Amino acid sequence: MEKIKLGLIGLGTVGTGVYKSVQNFDNIEIAKIAVKNINKPRSVDVPQSMLTDNPYDIVNDPTIDIVVELMGGVEPAWSYIKTAIQNGKHIVTANKELLAKKGEELFNLSEEHNCVVLYEAAIAGGIPLIMPIKTIMAGNKINKIQAILNGTTNYILTKMDVDGASYEDVLKEAQELGYAETDPTGDVEGFDAAYKITTLATIAFNSRTKFENVYREGITKIRKEDMKKANELGYKIKLIASATIDDKNNADVRVHPMLVPQDCTLAHIDYVTNAVAISGYPIGDILLSGPGAGESPTTSSVMGDILSIARAWKTTDYLLPMMRCHHHEISNPVKIDDTYNKYYISITAPNGIGLIAKIGQICAEKDVSLASISSDSDDVTARITVITDKCLERNIKEVIANLDGCTISSLIRVME
């Protein structure tokens, strides 16, 4: 039996998992692996002859059929993938940043050269998501996604909630345990989740979302006081990646913290678990949940993509048509100022007669209705918590700008 030959670019956590898993299959084999340091000690015993420190040895090798890119980032990964496609090789990748920023160019190039690009591992680790949307759910009109797509931030928020700890303390612990990077910016500022929802919205809505149009806000301003108050009000705070689209192709795609009602399943997705809630017609509402990162879950998705190509190998001149990019429209981005949301606002101000009335009056003047307002005050300081009804984001910003003498400790949107 002729074996399909793989070239791996990257032998980190996921690359190591893929290397081990490939040994269990008779129809595929790894021909070459590109690494930064050939002489680095590794947890797997890889023949030295299989290693190279030049990825072009892989993408230009005529004997390699599938290139598995596991290095991450836009460059030089894009240059390697582009060359591989131009040389007629199929691609399996877990690179969410590349997909978000170069997706249109990537899929146009792959179609030009009749190559397949699969990326199940790039969005939600081990959760089967991309293939179900493109195949089993292909007959649905999906119009809404709400998801927890970053395990690091979900771990931090869960620990803050359970332990009553500060963001700074939990981040330090997460770094010590290896859940957070030394530089956690990509996770805690929402970039990772924004990359993922960009691609997920594009696939689900059959209309391309541009990464630069995705609103992004991280978790660094979330306080332990907010966690406590959210619980008292019947919510949990989560970093939510959301996307909605209307019949006029207007897409509201964003990432930011939200107060999630405790009767919502997403409120109970804890620690490093990921979850994706999808709404559409005729399916209604479904939720997919599972491990979103790590060697085993991500390896599972990468191997699934490799084997999908392998099973279709040489059966047709046009492999896996349902998994290819078929969307050419670009969605109309909805600016965050034009969105309607409910809001949790934590306000600190010098205590005095008429303070709550003043807040209410300013809200009324700016067409913001209050669902609830409460105060925890002493003789000197008033600590006021406001939950608004659904209102225009632009109006909330005007309210904040007019609250003279008040400090806005937190402003967090509330999931309905």
Residues serving a catalytic function are 196
Distance CA 318, CA 113 (A): 11
Distance CA 319, CA 327 (A): 18
Distance CA 364, CA 321 (A): 54
Distance CA 156, CA 226 (A): 14
Residue 127's CB: how many other CB atoms inside 10 A? 24
Decide: 287 and 275 in contact? Cβ < 8 Å: yes
- Six-digit token string for 235: 């919510």
Q: What b-and-e string marks burial along 70-83, b requiring 16 or more CB atoms within 10 Å of the CB?
A: bbbeeeebbebbbb
Q: Which amino acid, residue 101?
A: K
* CA distances for 36 relative to 12, 54, 350, angstroms: 10, 8, 58
Decide: 408 and 345 in contact? Cβ < 8 Å: yes
Cis peptide before 291 (omega within 30 of 0): no
Q: What b-and-e string marks burial along 137-159, b requiring 16 or more CB atoms within 10 Å of the CB?
A: eeebebbbbbbbbbbbbbbbbbb
Paired sense of beta strands 4-9 and 28-34, if any: parallel
Strands annotated E in 154-312: 215-216, 235-245, 250-261, 273-281, 284-291
Helices and strands (DSSP H and E) totals, the chain: 14, 18
Q: If DSSP codes are grouped into helix, strand and coil, which group holds residue 409? A: strand
Map tokens 């879950």 to a residue.
Answer: 297
- Six-digit token string for 347: 């306000």
- Six-digit token string for 38: 């050939």
